[in-house]
Chain A
């Protein structure tokens, strides 16, 4: 919605002119334009973070000397009137490859990291590899939990080389509602959730939840805490909280057949 209020301006990307709203983030428009800019920590549902450093591009701003270029991440760089963007210059590619090498060392078993590296021509890494680690500290799980869900169950811990991400005090979280948004946004699959019957276990966060079963078919509808939170936020008919989507569809279909309308 906000983007519609911003003035559309012209920017040049790899020689091509593109129109985009001023001050919106550059990466989203590059991706929309069909450019394959690698990125791992960017997600349109949350504010840009600038952690993975893959979405590097070179820019020249209006008013600069033509040969001046700045290397910057595009996810948190604003669209500016008259901006010139280079997405595949030698410098950009060289640094993207070095970043890929570092990521490969951090999470060698993460498929998406290997894929991105391979596309950049990086098959192997010259630096020391970490074994068994899938998390690249992009922060998406915590950012979504805070900015979208509002549960604030996850956070970064520490700093520097020992930085990590997880729940407060590294134990089962009381704030977690078990919605699974963290798993949905995790780019590498580091966040794993196991659902067995009516029990959900968020493995990485050592947190367990109970599902509320559909009162019709018994399938899980949502976790108890998730439904509590929805109940507080949305004032609608109680039944909807305890009926699974399939049964809801079934019920509405039956209703239409019986009454000729909803």
Chain B
């Protein structure tokens, strides 16, 4: 291979060379090594698998390939077998022998490791048949479970950088038209048409000839991890998108701002940038063209507000992440006051696909106003949690029930929170809403970066509003009075409501405060900060009423409104709650029914969690829940007395 690559033909040669080199042996085990699976022990599994393959002398017949995030994080550690396409989940190192003997040696499946449909328990053998995957349309994520993110050759072997070669042979003006025609809208939350932003940046005066492109990977919405997985799974796609963008806009330097909490993403991207430079895909005269462009990684410092574009740019300049008023778009005057085009990770990742397959293909997916797909982080009380890529326009119901498999544990759906702290909670009456930019905004929420947190009856919506308000108060840069003082006061009032000290007058006050924070704050953090509160008041007003009027929390969450009790006719005197109680509030002995001293109880819920005999209840008003009965060995003390 001739490096650096200097022509389109050389690129094709490099790709076919890579395909030959990467030609898989008889068996490939794609093992997910994204952050989520690592958290459940994927690396131990990988070690065990490699060792066993070595021990059995299968080294030249079986390849273990560590890939980026497959998206089905809940079932991790997981593997997919090639060529059969069998999907194994929740694996432990102890399962390795079974897999190798059954699937590799005998060509059969290990049933106990297969996916089971929730409810029926029916097994599904192949990855493509699992509803979680079958109902997705994976175009940005297409290579995520298949390539080694640390190896550029793998990306080349799968057609990588062909879009870039095509772009460099196209006049930037034409490329811009294609991106505009595709109606690619920002995937980071704003939903602003990328083509228009590119155009504004491209035509903004740049006296020194310097323009910047920035990739916003400061994914701070709690509950969202799409961008992390795109970078960890296929970093070169993002780089390719940025280079195409630089060529179209006329940019000279690029930055990727990755939040501090994503060390693996930083590592993966850093390696990819290094490789891209070596291959001549970054740096001077890219692919032999007149484009000279390079990318630098900036790590965030632990500040959600740095996801706001002006704060992000301030941070790159070495200042704190304080937003500034945007009367002049950053596309015209941004980083160092120069024209800057900032887009989200997922937005950039769509660019090579659009260039390669055309705007027409892109607009054939999704809806008229929102073309293409969107990656959602479907988490919370849903059966199949993880990352899903679906076409825009799919209904919330389909997303949650078809892809997500419905509510966990057969409970009742209560709400789905979209858009993170800038969004709102939508109730079951809105489940048939199509998921696209405009419908969600009209309903009082927003698409945001793609977080979709599903909540059931055990989630208190007032507590959720309080949680987001406190989160935003803490993350607020603190510059403007409305956001800083307004959120602080809102947080205090919500504390009162959750503690049973709220009044109706305070509800009205919350409305006023929400309004001034929304209308008079300096940046979008403040501008959207009232959404969680306002949407929960709108759709879940009865819960606020109950907290204020009856001092009741129906979800049994708010500590001052709930009461734990040991059920004397079910207590088996096993003694675990007494031992675990951090304030020694439980009195009892062997064969004596245990009793909880309410005065000492701090409502931590440990007794409820540790009781295995279903003998602890939690109640608020007429709402009550009893701890789950897992063991049945001992008989209740009271019954045997």
Identify the A interface with B (CB < 8 A): 49-53, 56, 71-73, 76-78, 91, 95, 98-99, 102-103, 105-106, 126-128, 136-137, 139, 156, 158-163
Closest to B478 in A: A163
Q: A50-B324, A95-B519, A98-B482 are in contact. List 6 more A-B contacts (CB 8 A).
A: A51-B480, A52-B481, A77-B325, A160-B477, A161-B478, A161-B484
Do the beta carbons of A137 and B478 come within 8 Å of each other? yes
Do the beta carbons of A103 and B485 come within 8 Å of each other? yes
Do the beta carbons of A156 and B519 come within 8 Å of each other? no
Task: For residue B509, give the distance in angstroms from its CB to the closest CB of chain A.
Answer: 5
A103: chain B residues at CB < 8 Å are: 481, 485
Do the beta carbons of A160 and B476 come within 8 Å of each other? yes
Do the beta carbons of B519 and A78 come within 8 Å of each other? no
In the complex, A77 Cα to B326 Cα: how many Å? 9
Do the beta carbons of A98 and B327 come within 8 Å of each other? no
In the complex, A163 Cα to B481 Cα: how many Å? 11
Listed residue (A50, A53, A159, A160) with the most chain B CB atoms within 10 angstroms of its CB: A160
Do the beta carbons of B477 and A50 come within 8 Å of each other? no
| B186: interface (CB < 8 Å) | no
| B606: interface (CB < 8 Å) | no
Q: Kindly identify which residue among B320, B492, B516 contacts A128, using a CB–CB cutoff of 8 Å.
A: B492
Q: Kindly identify which residue among A51, A105, A161 contacts B487, using a CB–CB cutoff of 8 Å.
A: A161
In the complex, A25 Cα to B116 Cα: how many Å? 65
Task: For residue B489, give the distance in angstroms from its CB to the closest CB of chain A.
Answer: 4
Q: Which bucket holds chain B's interface residue count?
A: 35 or more
Do the beta carbons of A102 and B482 come within 8 Å of each other? yes
Closest to A78 in B: B327
Do the beta carbons of A98 and B325 come within 8 Å of each other? no
Known contacts: A50-B522, A78-B327, A95-B516. The answer to whether A102 contacts B485 by CB under 8 A is yes
Task: For residue A40, give the distance in angstroms from its CB to the closest CB of chain B.
Answer: 9
Known contacts: A77-B325, A105-B489. The answer to whether A159 contacts B515 by CB under 8 A is no
Task: For residue A76, give the distance in angstroms from its CB to the closest CB of chain B.
Answer: 5
Do the beta carbons of B478 and A160 come within 8 Å of each other? yes
Do the beta carbons of B478 and A76 come within 8 Å of each other? no
B488: chain A residues at CB < 8 Å are: 161
| B635: interface (CB < 8 Å) | no
Known contacts: A73-B325, A98-B512. The answer to whether A53 contacts B484 by CB under 8 A is no
Closest to B485 in A: A102
Do the beta carbons of B303 and A159 come within 8 Å of each other? yes
Do the beta carbons of B520 and A53 come within 8 Å of each other? yes
In the complex, A76 Cα to B326 Cα: how many Å? 10
Known contacts: A51-B480, A137-B484. The answer to whether A160 contacts B516 by CB under 8 A is no
In the complex, A106 Cα to B485 Cα: how many Å? 8
Contact residues, B471-515 vs A (CB, 8 A): 473-482, 484-489, 491-493, 505, 509, 512-513, 515
In the complex, A253 Cα to B520 Cα: how many Å? 56
Known contacts: A128-B489, A161-B473, A161-B476. The answer to whether A98 contacts B516 by CB under 8 A is yes
In the complex, A162 Cα to B492 Cα: how many Å? 14
A95: chain B residues at CB < 8 Å are: 516, 519-520
Task: For residue A132, give the distance in angstroms from its CB to the closest CB of chain B.
Answer: 16
Identify the B interface with A (CB < 8 A): 303, 305, 320, 324-325, 327, 473-482, 484-489, 491-493, 505, 509, 512-513, 515-516, 519-522
In the complex, A158 Cα to B475 Cα: how many Å? 10
B484: chain A residues at CB < 8 Å are: 137, 160-161, 163
**CB-defined A-B contacts under 8 Å, sample of 8:** A50-B324, A52-B481, A53-B520, A127-B492, A128-B492, A159-B303, A159-B305, A159-B478
B475: chain A residues at CB < 8 Å are: 159-160
Known contacts: A160-B477, A161-B474, A161-B487. The answer to whether A71 contacts B482 by CB under 8 A is no
Q: Kindly identify which residue among B480, B485, B491, B512 contacts A105, using a CB–CB cutoff of 8 Å.
A: B485
A53: chain B residues at CB < 8 Å are: 480-482, 520-522
Closest to B509 in A: A126
Closest to B472 in A: A160
Closest to A106 in B: B485
Task: For residue B310, give the distance in angstroms from its CB to the closest CB of chain A.
Answer: 12
In the complex, A102 Cα to B522 Cα: how many Å? 16
A160: chain B residues at CB < 8 Å are: 473-478, 484
Task: For residue B572, give the distance in angstroms from its CB to the closest CB of chain A.
Answer: 47
In the complex, A52 Cα to B483 Cα: how many Å? 10
Task: For residue A123, give the distance in angstroms from its CB to the closest CB of chain B.
Answer: 16
In the complex, A153 Cα to B519 Cα: how many Å? 34
B482: chain A residues at CB < 8 Å are: 53, 98-99, 102
Do the beta carbons of B478 and A156 come within 8 Å of each other? yes
In the complex, A89 Cα to B489 Cα: how many Å? 26
In the complex, A67 Cα to B488 Cα: how many Å? 34
A91: chain B residues at CB < 8 Å are: 519
A51: chain B residues at CB < 8 Å are: 479-481
Task: For residue A92, give the distance in angstroms from its CB to the closest CB of chain B.
Answer: 10
Do the beta carbons of A127 and B513 come within 8 Å of each other? yes
A137: chain B residues at CB < 8 Å are: 478, 481, 484
Q: Kindly identify which residue among A102, A156, A158 contacts B481, using a CB–CB cutoff of 8 Å.
A: A102
A76: chain B residues at CB < 8 Å are: 325, 327
Task: For residue A46, give the distance in angstroms from its CB to the closest CB of chain B.
Answer: 15
In the complex, A73 Cα to B522 Cα: how many Å? 8
The 9 A-B pairs at the shortest CB distance, nearest first, are namely A163-B478, A98-B516, A102-B485, A127-B489, A161-B488, A160-B476, A159-B478, A161-B473, A160-B474
Task: For residue B199, give the distance in angstroms from its CB to the closest CB of chain A.
Answer: 18
Closest to A96 in B: B520
Task: For residue A243, give the distance in angstroms from its CB to the closest CB of chain B.
Answer: 41
In the complex, A215 Cα to B473 Cα: how many Å? 54
